[in-house]
Amino acid sequence: MPSIPPPSTSVRVPPHPSRKVRDIPSVSPKFESYPALPSAPRSPHFIPGYNLTTHIIPSAYPRQSFRELRRYPQLESISSFPPSAEGKTEREARALDIRSKMKRKWDTIIHLRDGSDRSEALGDDEESPVLWNVVNRYARIGPIKRKSDMAVTLIAVHAIGLHKESWEPTIKHIISLCDRPTSNIHVDEVWALDPVNSGDSALLNEKYLGDFCAFSFVFIVSPMDSDGGTGTVDGIDHARDFLNFAENFVPEGSFVASPHPLPVYLDRVSSDCASQRRKYGFHDRNVLGIGHSIGGCIIASAACANPRLFQSLTLIDPMILPHGNSGVDCLVLRPLLRRLSWSSREEAKAHFSRNPGFKAWDPEVLDLYVQYALVDIPRSEGGGVRLKMSGFQEAADCAGSRFVQETYQHLGRLDEKVKLRWIMPTVPLNGDPPEYRQAMVWRRPANSSSVILDLSHLMVQLAPRVIAKEVVAGWRVMHGDPASSRL
């Protein structure tokens, strides 16, 4: 398999100061009650020998972005709600108008930002809202079929606009490959997270997401909240949510195979356990991270903040760029033009099946998208189904550049003990210059390897079997013969 060669020329990185990912305070947020699961519980039977359960945890609190967002004056609000009846021409005009407003907001933030990394600690007196993460667990319920050298707990984060269930075909193939007699690795459990503004998490957090969020870093009034909510989503808090889950909610002690499920609302580990994890990592589990697109950026940022938690990271075409990517002209417009609702899941699937992009997806992945990326609209609101993560939220995720650039800067200082495996497509995302991804992959060359696949960016959706094979092959490189773990 070909790999990414080192860059022939150096890539100049703009001298923007990068923020530090703040530690998670050892306090539990105060809230009246847990929310109910936003989607109906699924059958626990995932594949033979593994059960599936869905859980809710409070996100990292307080939000680091909440303190930082308050530095900026209130900016122009952008309505994220299309008219109930909108033709193609009107949709295109509205999308262009929103894109223009996003660009003005981003330029204003660049002008206003002082660039300092204010290092005051986050306290428990913050007034940021309590957000939620929904996470699926795929766990072994019986004894392993054979003795192996390494038991794995895998934590996965998906790409923008997708959902935690999109990993399931890949997870099935990973488990199957690891169950072979020749494998020295077996999978104890897999956790797949929905960031706060995607999938089921987005349904729980709709009131607080705001009209322009994520990596664009803005303070706004949310049209979803008549009381004046705030856009509280920032890439840096996605990374803190990942750390919050690993440090505070991965169950205490070593993995125990059991047919009995964990509670829907995961118990927070003891403060002593969380403290030990922050200082020394896991002493009773081998935790591996896997992330696709922005999910790769999230887990890389989390590992840079606390490398002790992870044995290795598998980064699938991650959005980690030396110059960031404003996305205003190329990535933002596409989801803004996307249709948001349909009369039924059957109509939605027919629509997706006619789209060349969706048509190329693995059939099981597409079926999961129809089932789990959409939510039923109440009959009182017209009925039908809509996307859980709106095209507007997806566009907002693509509209900024600070987080992806910060992660690139931090990556060069990532502890060499954290092994890296890069799975890259033949064509760079969005036509970025080849030297960008060369600089990314070689940003921390020690204990790192890469492979190029003849696929495009959404390779997890296109070829889950191929991705699973390369993930397991990467594990063998990283956790097998040390001499092979080089680029």
By the 10 Å C-beta count (0-12 exposed, 13-18 middle, 19+ buried), 360 is classed as: middle
Residue 193 backbone dihedrals phi, psi, to 5 degrees: -100, 140
The answer to whether 210 and 231 have CB atoms below 8 angstroms apart is yes
Strands 312-316 and 286-292, by their bridges, are parallel
| Edge-to-edge strand list for the sheet holding 419-425 | 45-47, 50-58, 132-140, 185-194, 150-157, 286-292, 312-316, 419-425, 448-453
**Buried b vs exposed e over 240-277: b needs ≥16 C-beta within 10 Å?**
bbbbbbbbbbbbeeebeeeeeeeeeebebbeeebbebb
Model-level pTM? Answer: 0.88
Q: What region, left, alpha or beta, does residue 25 occupy, with left being phi > 0 and alpha being psi -120 to 50 degrees?
A: beta
CA distance 79 to 290: 34
The amino acid at residue 464 is P
CA distance 105 to 217: 10
Cα 395–408–196 angle (5° rounding)?
40
Residue 152 backbone dihedrals phi, psi, to 5 degrees: -115, 135
pLDDT for 68 equals: 57
pLDDT for 329 equals: 55
CA distance 240 to 342: 35
Instruction: Please enumerate in sequence order all residues whose Cβ is within 8 A of that of 350, keeping only pairs 6 or more positions apart, or say none.
Output: none
pLDDT for 8 equals: 82
CA distance 68 to 377: 35
Closest CA to 163 of 365, 326, 346: 365
Strand partners, 450: 422
What's the count of helices (H) and strands (E) in the chain, helices before strands? 16, 12
pLDDT for 412 equals: 93
**Interhelix angle for 294-305 vs 235-248, to 10°?**
60
Closest CA to 205 of 114, 94, 129, 264: 129
**Interhelix angle for 464-479 vs 168-178, to 10°?**
50
pLDDT for 470 equals: 98
Domains observed in the chain: 45-340+390-484 (3.40.50.1820)
The amino acid at residue 36 is A
By the 10 Å C-beta count (0-12 exposed, 13-18 middle, 19+ buried), 473 is classed as: middle
3-class SS shares of the chain: helix, strand, coil, % to 5: 35, 15, 50
Can you tell me which residue has the tokens 């990993």? 167
Instruction: Write out the chain's pLDDT in tens, 487 residues.
Output: 799 999 887 777 766 667 889 888 777 888 889 999 999 999 999 999 999 999 999 999 988 876 655 555 454 555 555 555 567 777 677 767 776 766 666 565 555 544 444 444 555 445 678 999 999 999 999 988 777 789 999 999 999 999 999 999 999 999 999 999 888 899 999 999 999 999 999 999 988 875 443 333 332 323 333 333 344 467 889 999 999 999 999 999 999 999 999 999 999 999 999 999 999 999 999 999 999 999 999 999 999 999 999 999 999 999 998 875 544 456 666 777 778 899 999 999 999 999 999 999 999 999 999 999 999 999 998 999 999 997 777 776 666 567 888 999 999 999 999 999 999 999 887 667 788 889 999 999 999 999 999 999 999 999 999 999 999 999 999 997 433 333 3
CA distance 79 to 75: 13
Measured torsion, CA atoms of residues 400, 235, 365, 257, in degrees rounded to the nearest 10: 170
CA distance 326 to 320: 12
